[in-house]
Structure 1
Amino acid sequence: MASEGEEGAIRHGGDLGEARRLFPQAPEPWIDLSTGINPIPYPWPALEASAFTRLPARADLASLEDAAAQAYGADPAHVVAAPGTQALIDLIPRLRPPGRVAVLGPTYAEHAAAWARAGHAVATVPDLDLAADVVVAVNPNNPDGRVIPARELAAASARLAERGGWLVVDEAFADLEPVESLCGPPPPGCLVLRSFGKTYGLAGLRLGFAVAAEPLIGRLRRGIGPWAVSGPAIAVGRHALTDAAWRREATAARGRDAARLDALLAQAGGRIVGGTCLFRTADFPDSMPDSMPDSASLFAQLGRAGIFVRRFEASPARLRFGLPPDEAAWARLAAALRAVRRH
């Protein structure tokens, strides 16, 4: 989840420049736990030089979208690749005239911001608001991991589609979760977003997908234009998306990591409010016993120890923790939490 920062800018996780400004004396290297990106990246294959030196062929892109369709249980004709789901979040609001948009939140702030930039009237709502022209839901949600059953979302999509409305479902964190997807086949008037970089730990590759039926998928494809996805992203994405064994192993391993992180946070006095197997969210309220830190003091003390976590202006008691990447990072986090509790 992103939040509003200075001068209306949206603050995101992963900004180690901010961490160094806030805590200039912190030890290096930093442990960045402020994102929900898989800390164990997919072992990308060696790439042919042609992936960098020539424009991607249409057949290359089609093979990538076929691999995504297989991974997501979709029809290849319903899949379009993009240079990251953020590009799709920015594009989709420009595909229809301004109207009323309900974003189920609090959630990833770029959704509301993108619709507002395109001239829509945007409201953040706690439940599905079918009176709006467009409803946006992140499923599972970031940062609390809330899951809306697929049947409920499909019914909402059908009702919206009856009067020309859309349902946008962001399934960025669905790959490693026991969540029923709307990808196969997507209901009428429904656009589903899937993130590659979070699951495979390759966020810098910039690759994401939209899944929708016609005519929406055709409009998205035309809006993205030719050669939107790079040759290296196509090559790595195609290889990774067809590696079902790696995905199964990652699901089990990150699930164990999430349980381990829950135990550490609970020992530090955190109340786990949810998350996914790529991040955990906990409340550390001001009313904690004297021996336990509140969120502000915990954020600061972890920062001084060179550990950056995610905070939320709209929920001051709440912190989100990504997964440490290795045993050394786990040990540093455990030691820092113990030191905070002693302090």
Structure 2
Amino acid sequence: MTESWTWHGGGLEAAKRHFGASEGDWLDLSTGINPHGWPGAADMAFDWQRLPDTGALARLEAIAARYFGVDAHHVCAVPGTEIGLRLVGTLVGGPAHHIVPGYRTHGAMIAGSIAIDWPAAQNATGNLILANPNNPDGRAVDADAMRDLLARRAGWLLVDEAFADGTPALGIAASVADARRLIVFRSFGKFFGLAGVRLGFVIAPRAVVAALRERLGAWPLSAAAIAIGIAAYADAEWIAATRQRLPQAAKALDTMLVRQGYRPTGECPLFRLIETEDADALFERLARQAILTRPFADNPRWLRIGLPADADALARLEAALGDG
């Protein structure tokens, strides 16, 4: 019954069709997207008759580079991290390993990539693909350990930092250099809560950036994505406040889940993972009450729960969890 929602989060339309509740009734906790998105986009206007400006794209990459702590020559904006992952995979090639549990696309980036767990990754040969913090279990590895892993490798280290904005000390984008086989991926939509903008970044040696630009061609991003990205990355006050707010909200979610008899895991403030005897049944029970979460086809004991937007949403989730 849950197969339709195990590929990615966000399958709200399918949930509405299957479970019958109207859109206004749904509480979508199936993704790891900040429920309090950057507010400035709502007031922005765009000239849809003009092609995106190349100078504006360069400004976006420059301001994002400052945010990431790298030189702009190492930054290439892409229309979503998903596309960035897949394009870089074709550029790098194999052999490769990807860490599981992990983001599903990591296993599809490089043909023939072999799934391994985190302990085995310490001695794996070839290219290595992983996320930090990890999705879906929220495992986080400190930056020193990641740099040590990089120093011991002969192949490429491909690090998906889509969820790193909330815990920036974990990021190793600043270690990217032309002489290092390190590529880092960053997402705009999750921390800034604007997944529909479809904006991401590949941070890589200049030769990789040049090859990626050739694959992307002219006008890889919309004018709206460029303008929103420039303004949001410049909003230091909102960024700082959000980095304080998200851990507090995650702590409230943890407290509630423990109160309901679950043990939440993960260090990413945008979601938590719980393990229960029959997660599919819990998914169904919550969905019947118009609360969408994220089940997993390869682990029927797991359910990922995104961050509720406010106290009312948290209370609604608690009531549904207790109605068993």
Q: Give the alignment's TM-score, normalised by structure 1.
A: 0.86
Q: Which residue of 2 aligns with 1:207?
A: 199
CA contact (8 A) 2:140 2:267 kept: no
Query: How far apart are 1:28 and its partner, in Å?
Result: 4.9
- Counterpart AA for 1:144: D
Q: 1:104 to 1:179 in 2, by over 3 A?
A: farther
Q: Are 1:75 and 2:68 an aligned pair?
A: no
Of all paired residues, the percent bearing the same amino acid is 39
Structure 2 contact 131–161 (Cα < 8 Å) conserved: yes
1:102 maps onto 2:97 in alignment: yes
- Following superposition, the deviation at residue 221 of structure 1 comes to 2.1
Shift of 1:47: 3.1
1:153 Cα offset (Å): 2.5
Which of 158, 161, 168 aligns to 1:171? It is: 161
- Retained in 2: the 8 A contact 1:14–1:35? yes
Q: 1:170, 1:193 within 8 Å by CA — same for their partners in 2? A: yes
Cα deviations by residue, 1:120-167 (Å, 9 ceiling, x for unpaired): 211111132554321001000001111223233323334434xxx211
Tell me which residue corresponds to 2:272. Answer: 280
- Is 1:183 matched up with 2:173? yes
Question: What is the aligned length?
Answer: 318
Instruction: Give deviations 1:244-285, integer Å, cap 9, x for gaps.
Output: 11111111111111011111111221111224111111112x
Quote the offset at 1:114 in angstroms: 3.0
* CA-based RMSD: 2.2
Unaligned runs of 5+ in 2: none
Q: Corresponding residue for 1:156? A: 149
**CA–CA distance in 2 between the matches of 1:328 and 1:53?**
42
The list of structure 1 runs, each at least 4 consecutive aligned residues, that deviate by more than 4 angstroms after superposition, is: 25-28
Distance 2:175 2:91 in 1: 21
> Which residue does the alignment assign to 1:34?
30
Alpha-carbon separation, structure 2, partners of 1:335 and 1:158? 49
Q: Does 1:143 align with 2:139?
A: no
What is the aligned counterpart of 2:302 among 304, 314, 318? 318
Gaps of 5+ in 1: 287-293
Structure 2 length-normalised TM: 0.91
Structure 1: distance between partners of 2:23 and 2:69: 45
Q: Is residue 47 of structure 1 aligned with residue 61 of structure 2?
A: no
Shift of 1:184: 1.1
Cα distance in 2 between the residues matched to 1:111 and 1:274: 19
Where 1:200 maps in the other structure, the secondary structure is coil
Aligned to 1:256: 248
Q: What does the per-residue CA deviation read over 1:38-62, in whole Å, with 9 as the maximum and x for residues that have no partner?
A: 0011012433443x22112221011
CA contact 2:6–2:294 (8 Å) conserved in 1:
no
Tell me the SS of whatever aligns to 1:102. strand
Structure 2 counterpart of 1:209, one-letter code: F
- Structure 2 residue aligned with 1:290: none
Following the alignment from structure 1 to structure 2, what is the Cα–Cα distance between the partners of residues 206 and 28?
Answer: 24
Answer whether contact 1:176 1:247 (CA < 8 A) is retained: no
CA distance, structure 2, for counterparts of residue 90 and residue 336 of structure 1: 38
Secondary structure at 1:334 match in 2: helix
